[in-house]
Amino acid sequence: MKAGRLAVFLLATVWLLIVLAPIYYMVLASFRSQGSYLTAGPWLPTGGLTASEYGTVFAAGLGRYLLNSVIITAACILLTLAFSLGAAFRIVRKSSRGSGAAFRLLLIGLAIPIQAIIVPLYLLIDKLHLYDTLAALILAMSAAAVPVSVLIMVSFIRDIPRELIGAMLVDGGTEWTVFRRLIWPLARPVLATLSIYDGLNVWNNFILPLVLTQSSNVAVLPLGLTKFQGQYAIDVPAVMAAVLLSVLPLVALFVVMRKQVMRSLGAIVLR
């Protein structure tokens, strides 16, 4: 039994090292200068450390990428949640046949891989004169997030007793009253969960910015990182610093609200 526990501890520690070693390597490399990265040993903090590459990446436009990412993430969260909440409310109310059909249609969307539609999506965005704009990213990413957001929301708010709604309507309440008094309070916790879940997906999405944008001034972080790599192929410390800066907001979020983030990550499966 004791040997078993020791074995478990050792194996778990091996996995911990596998998880942490690359991250540690990246952090250390980001504090090198271009020269000391090539000469100093890559695993020990000896041979001179500097934060100068962090300045380099800001000078090269990381701030712009960061701002673009913040803009599209905030906009997508707002748009997705507002639209999904409205749809989920009607689906849960089951007041007409249309809502059931709408739900089934959205469920199909869950299984469509985004890669299967990027070619026509690019052509459509181009036709709408939205190519190379943040608006293109906001619209496409929000649309992609709608099905899963509606599904999760519906599963959270569907257990409202019909009698309660009936009583409210008899007392002279309107659909709007039902929404404000019943749906909204019930939905608030799931809105928090979903904003983290959808936000993470938008923040990290790579393929849509790759296909729908081109210029540096609308590049978001994941795409911007690869632009850095193109420009500074030999300046690995700068690329590592950029990657770390791009993840900093998420680490901060994680430290402040770890439980909530964990729950959001498993949101699809929770219900």
Partner 1 sequence: MRLADLIGLTPALTLFGLFILLPLLAAFVLSFFRWNGLGTPHWAGGANWVQFAHDPVAATSLVVTAKVVALSWAVQTPLSLALGLFTAGHQRYRAVYAAFYVLPLLLSTAGIALMWEALLDPNFGGLAGLSHSLNLGFLQQNWLGNANLALYVIVAVIAWQFIPFHTLLYQMGRRQIPGVLYEAATLDGASGWQLFWRVTLPQLRYTIATSSTLMVVGALTYFDIIYIMTDGGPGYTTRMLSLDMYQSAFQQDQFGYASVLAVVLGVLGVGIALLLIRFTGFASMESQQEGAA
Candidate list 59, 119, 164, 167; residue touching partner 1; CB under 8 A: 119
Please check whether residue 241 is in contact with residue 53, taking contact to mean a CB–CB distance below 8 angstroms. Answer: yes
Residues 121-180 binding partner 1 (CB under 8 A) are 121-124, 139-140, 142-144, 146-147, 150, 159, 175-176
Q: Is 58 in the site for partner 1 (CB under 8 A)?
A: no
What φ, ψ does residue 110 adopt, rounded to 5°? -60, -30
Please report how the helices 97-111 and 62-93 are oriented relative to each other, as an axis angle in degrees rounded to 10: 140
Q: Is 197 in the site for partner 1 (CB under 8 A)?
A: no
Candidate list 49, 118, 160, 192; residue touching partner 1; CB under 8 A: 118
CA dist 60 to 3, 73, 222, Å?
A: 54, 22, 15
Q: Is 189 in the site for partner 1 (CB under 8 A)?
A: no
Q: Is 79 in the site for partner 1 (CB under 8 A)?
A: yes
Q: Least distance (Å) from partner 1 to the CB of residue 109?
A: 6
Which C-beta is closer to partner 1: that of 139 or that of 218?
Answer: 139
Please check whether residue 79 is in contact with residue 142, taking contact to mean a CB–CB distance below 8 angstroms. Answer: yes
Q: Least distance (Å) from partner 1 to the CB of residue 260?
A: 13
Q: Is 10 in the site for partner 1 (CB under 8 A)?
A: no
Q: Which stretch binds partner 1 (CB under 8 A): 39-47, 49-57, 58-66, 184-192?
A: 39-47
The string of DSSP letters for 164-228 reads: HHHHHHHTT--HHHHIIIIIHHHHHHHHHHHHHHHHHHHHH--HHHHHH--SGGG--HHHHHHHH
